[in-house]
Amino acid sequence: MAAEPGLQELRELVAEFQPGRGHVLPALHKVQRTYGWVPRAAIEVIARQLNTTPALIYGAVTFYSDFRLHPPARYEIAWCCGPACRLRGGEAIREAIQEELGIGLDEQTPDHRFGLHVGQCNGTCHEAPQIWVNGRVRGNLTPESARDIIRSLRDGE
């Protein structure tokens, strides 16, 4: 698992942002791009830099699905919850993956190899139902083919 960055490192990273709410998202995006996640310490540092409250920063992190409060798993699996995927058996895909990994949505396996979360429709509905593994579309799935993907990732290491 990735180590938490130091406070000084975080301060230097967001030093360019001036106080004001207009810089909340740019500061969060910079932290996310740098570390792949938003460490809890970054919430305090950004709040102090922008002269606002940690609650406001935390609210932005938890409101926008692009931000994460933990390091990403080696394989981040986004399950599409869009209408086309749901109509074509997406719930069964999610259930198969959860069963295969032994985790729920917004959880990671204990070894941090797999993470599962909800993904919003990306417009590739012709491949429904689908998941994205580290951003790569894996579509036209059945519960068994979804399990096969997980098994091949697990066995491929």
Annotated binding site for [2Fe-2S] cluster: 80, 85, 121, 125
Asked if the bond preceding 129 is cis, omega within 30° of 0, the reply is yes
94 CB burial (10 A radius; 0-12, 13-18, 19+): buried
Would you list which residues are annotated within the binding site? 80, 85, 121, 125
Compute and round to an integer the Cα radius of gyration of the chain.
18
What is the rounded distance in angstroms from the CA atom of residue 10 to the CA atom of residue 97? Answer: 36
Nearest 5 degrees, angle CA 93-CA 97-CA 99? 115
Nearest of 68, 49, 52, 152 to residue 116 by alpha carbon: 68
